[in-house]
Amino acid sequence: MAVDEFSVPAHVTKKLKELGYSVDTSMDAYIQAWYDWYSGKDDWYRDGYRDLQGRRRTRNRMSIRPAKRVASEWASLLITDDTQVSVGADAANGWLQDWLDRANFWPTGQMVVEKAFALGTAAWALWLDVRDEGAEVKVRRYDARMVRPLSWDEEGVSACAFVTRAAVAGRRVDQLQVHAPDPETGTYHISTYLFSEGEEQDAGAAGVIADFDTLQDCPTFGIIRPALENTVVDLSPFGQSVFADALDAIKAVDLAYDSMFQEVELTAAKVFVDESMVDVRSENGKVIPSPRIEGRLFRRLAGQDPTKNLISIYSPEIRVEPLRSAFDMALAELGDLCGFGQQYFALDKSGGLKTATEVAADNSALMRNVRKHENVLRGAVQRVVTSLLNCARIHCGAAIEEDFGAVKVQFDDSVIADTQTEKNMALAEIAALGVPELKQRYLIDWHGFSEAEAAAAVPSAQLLDEGF
């Protein structure tokens, strides 16, 4: 395990049960196993063997961290700095764009998506900092180990708890936040509980509002999951890791990688020298033979023919191509099982992995899977952004229209599609047809304009006909 690795404490689970919730822990073992592969801490990486004296030894296998690479690649494909989210109302959209820049939302969003694809689940959740000088709304990130769904159905999770660590006056505490709708009003409440050394503390004394009514009915969190069926626990609110079905391929990749460089080490040139050249004489005249000198210099065994050279070199032949082929084959299977297609992780001539732009043009499997994951991710973004705008208007005094329209998410698909060609085609249609609505659609689709902003920037066809 990693140093101080996080897990939900027993006293937090006990508190949830006292609040009347039945806590589902059926996925905990799988999430922990996926985290071990993601972090490279799984026991498989410690290879056991016996030395010549029969003693048990272990060595750490060399690894390229395939599980982390897979999750990281999916995050970089789905979330980029060019990902856009917007709403139709002008003031609301302006406030949202400013908040996204200040919060560094997309770069940090890439991190939470990486964890979601590694562990099967992650979440964004609102956090309100309410002070005398004013309130500020933030969005926090949680991975699967910190998420405890409380109420869910086919449409998704409607109530959820999030468990983290915090520090109050220099003292570390466990923090439990329950996001759930009030059964009478339907508005979402954020309830906070603090624990120190297993004992519940007074949240108010720590300057924390124990029960905060958001005064709006949109869920204050967004659950992120890969667009994959959970086949390990049926009907679970948790998702499944993107590499859950590729653990054997992960082993094959690292076995081939480890074998290649074990081969390099084991076939390195070794120099054997005669005993007379490596004997060490102590001050009292005794001869103490050195069995091995640091590096790859060895003492020739006693009894060897003295007529031979005093120095001999042993350099066995290295098997590069067979091992490279095995490594390439394992990478192809890893890419295929994780949804990228067989060519995504292919080695190029120099021995490095190809980039996404080199393989995406003819990789229909990758394109289909990106679209599938985008559709699921879009729902999580829309939920948390809707709640964000509502809370900013109600509690922070932000100049946001009450009816700001639907939240639209535009993903940047330039890695898997020729975005510039699509833009040029749209511009060509605008030039050929001269329809103002096409110009408005271009501004909305490619530049993140709201409908109101696009309409203001480009007069409609009706206005042009009337001479305005």
Q: Express each pLDDT in 50-63 by its tens digit.
A: 776 778 888 899 99
Q: Give pLDDT tens digits for 81-134.
A: 889 999 999 999 999 999 999 999 998 999 999 999 999 999 999 998 877 667
Listed residues 281, 315, 349: the one ending a domain? 315
The CB density around residue 288, as the number of other CB atoms within 10 Å, is 8
Q: Does residue 20 fall inside a structural domain? A: yes
Copy the structure tokens of residue 411. 């993903």
Per DSSP, 353 falls in state B
Q: Are residues 120 and 210 both part of a single domain?
A: yes
Q: Are residues 229 and 298 both part of a single domain?
A: no
Q: Does residue 378 fall inside a structural domain? A: no
Q: Does residue 461 fall inside a structural domain? A: yes
Q: Are residues 295 and 194 both part of a single domain?
A: no
Instruction: Calculate Rg over the CA atoms of the chain.
Output: 30
Q: Does residue 369 fall inside a structural domain? A: no
Q: Is 448 left (phi over 0), alpha (psi -120 to 50) or beta?
A: left
Pair 117, 75: CB distance under 8 Å: yes
Pair 126, 388: CB distance under 8 Å: yes
Q: Are residues 286 and 159 both part of a single domain?
A: no
Q: Are residues 69 and 189 both part of a single domain?
A: yes
Q: Does residue 448 fall inside a structural domain? A: yes
Pair 74, 370: CB distance under 8 Å: no
Q: What is the pLDDT of residue 359?
A: 53
Pair 111, 75: CB distance under 8 Å: yes
How far CA 196 is from CA of 188, 193, 199, 208, 250, in Å, comes to 27, 10, 5, 15, 40
Q: What is the pLDDT of residue 416?
A: 58
Q: Are residues 233 and 305 both part of a single domain?
A: no
Q: Are residues 240 and 285 both part of a single domain?
A: no
- Total domains present in the chain: 3
Per DSSP, 245 falls in state G
Q: What is the pLDDT of residue 127?
A: 92
Q: What is the pLDDT of residue 467?
A: 38
Q: What is the pLDDT of residue 384?
A: 96
Q: Does residue 399 fall inside a structural domain? A: no
Listed residues 244, 276, 305: the one ending a domain? 244
Q: Are residues 229 and 293 both part of a single domain?
A: no
For residues 154, 158, 164, 168, the Cα torsion angle rounded to the nearest 10 degrees is 180
Domain holding 428, by residue range, is: 418-468
Q: What is the pLDDT of residue 218?
A: 95
Q: What is the pLDDT of residue 276?
A: 59
Q: Does residue 383 fall inside a structural domain? A: no
User: How far apart (Å, rounded) are the C-alpha atoms in residues 94 and 418?
Assistant: 29
Q: What is the pLDDT of residue 358?
A: 53
Q: Are residues 308 and 440 both part of a single domain?
A: no
Q: Which residues of the chain have pLDDT under 50?
A: 291-293, 362, 418, 461-468
Per DSSP, 1 falls in state -
Pair 48, 56: CB distance under 8 Å: yes
Q: Name the residue with tokens 């790859």.
A: 296
Q: Are residues 156 and 276 both part of a single domain?
A: no
**pTM exceeds cut of 0.85:** no
Q: What is the pLDDT of residue 314?
A: 66
Q: Are residues 239 and 284 both part of a single domain?
A: no
